[in-house]
Amino acid sequence: MTTPAATAPLRRNDLGWYLYGVAAADETSVPLGARLAAGAAQKVELVAEGSLVGVASRVSLQEFDEPTLPERLRDATWLEEKIRAHEQVLERVLEDASVVPCRFCTVYRSEVELRRFLSERRETLQAALDRVRGKVEVGVKAFIDSDRFTAGRAKQNDDIRQLETQISTAEGGRAYMERRRLEQLVASELERFRGEAADRIHTHLLAAAEDGLALPLQTPELSGRDEKMVFNGAYLVTADRGAFEDALASLARDIRDDGVDLELTGPWPAYNFVPVELSAE
């Protein structure tokens, strides 16, 4: 039997606090606390500090400490498990209360440090919380089916229609050349339309939301769909989502004939609508 001499013995203070997010004390009920404590593999605790509540778990600092963290981050299985756990905890809080989500792997070495953060940043946290109170984030992605676009919407373009008529009567080499020209024309019309569709979608949905923003488009590799993404947006909407979903449904009907399909994700904690950096107070 070998002794792991290189491993430092566990110290008493080897537990830290992983902070998932911050909620308001007046929204986080005792039953929520009990459900959080019982539900997950990782016990979740509500650390109350004045009007704020930190949603946190005790974690092993051996697992999360700086020297070992980079190595952990290369472990895809560990990573996926922790990322999903982070989200699951916040989603359970979101069922009952508004929450300001924290970035992945925010860890305090002690409860004192966690409480100090909550009290020192109380004003900025409270302002962030007020902004998302009673609201959730939803994601909307739009994809264009180029076949449906070509068969439908593209024909609204006079040049495309005219060229199609010419092709129907042309023969041999000329018909081939003109078909190539038509393909190019349809492709450039599609490019133009993508911008127009993105503007239209964002304007329409923004009118039914508290706030919204356009996110970078995803490549087919990331989106998991063959169709080209024309729009990727995030919206802050009231938790019941009624008005927003009505607006989305009517837009989806209108834009479908142009070859555009909409995809809704969420509700998410309002990741995109909280300050990225908390300003010092």
Partner 1 sequence: MSMSEQQTLKHQVTLLELVDRVLNRGVVVSGDITLSVADVDLVYVGLRVLLSSVATLEESRERISATGAGP
Virtual torsion, Cα 146, 152, 154, 158, nearest 10 deg: 170
Q: Is 91 in the site for partner 1 (CB under 8 A)?
A: no
Query: How many positions of this chain bind partner 1 (CB under 8 A)?
Result: 51
262 Cβ contact list (under 8 Å, min separation 6): 140, 141, 142, 201, 248, 251, 252, 255
Q: Is 219 in the site for partner 1 (CB under 8 A)?
A: no
Q: Which of 31, 76, 172, 281 binds partner 1 (CB under 8 A)?
A: 76
95-134 positions binding partner 1, by CB under 8 A: 100-110, 113, 117, 121, 128
Q: How far is the CB of 202 from partner 1 (least distance, A)?
A: 18
Q: How far is the CB of 8 from partner 1 (least distance, A)?
A: 17
User: Cα separation of 14 and 7, whole Å?
Assistant: 13
Q: How far is the CB of 168 from partner 1 (least distance, A)?
A: 36
Residue at token pair 């039997």: 1
Nearer to partner 1, 71 or 158 (CB): 71
Q: Is 272 in the site for partner 1 (CB under 8 A)?
A: yes
Q: Is 79 in the site for partner 1 (CB under 8 A)?
A: yes
User: Cα separation of 74 and 89, whole Å?
Assistant: 23
C-alpha closest to that of 32 among 100, 95, 85, 87:
95
Q: Is 31 in the site for partner 1 (CB under 8 A)?
A: no
Provide the token pair at 111: 């409860």
Beta-bridged to residue 141, according to DSSP, are 232, 263
Q: Is 277 in the site for partner 1 (CB under 8 A)?
A: yes
Angle at 129 between CA 127 and CA 130, to 5 degrees: 65
Reported as half-sphere exposure (CB side, CA atoms, 13 A), residue 10 has a value of 8
User: Cα separation of 19 and 86, whole Å?
Assistant: 9
Q: Is 19 in the site for partner 1 (CB under 8 A)?
A: yes
51-70 positions binding partner 1, by CB under 8 A: 64-66, 69-70
Q: How far is the CB of 197 from partner 1 (least distance, A)?
A: 21
User: Cα separation of 267 and 96, whole Å?
Assistant: 13
Nearer to partner 1, 171 or 226 (CB): 226
Q: Which residues would be at the binding site for partner 1 (CB under 8 A)?
A: 16, 19, 21-22, 64-66, 69-70, 73-77, 79-80, 83-84, 86-87, 100-110, 113, 117, 121, 128, 139, 215, 218, 222-224, 265, 268-269, 271-272, 274-278
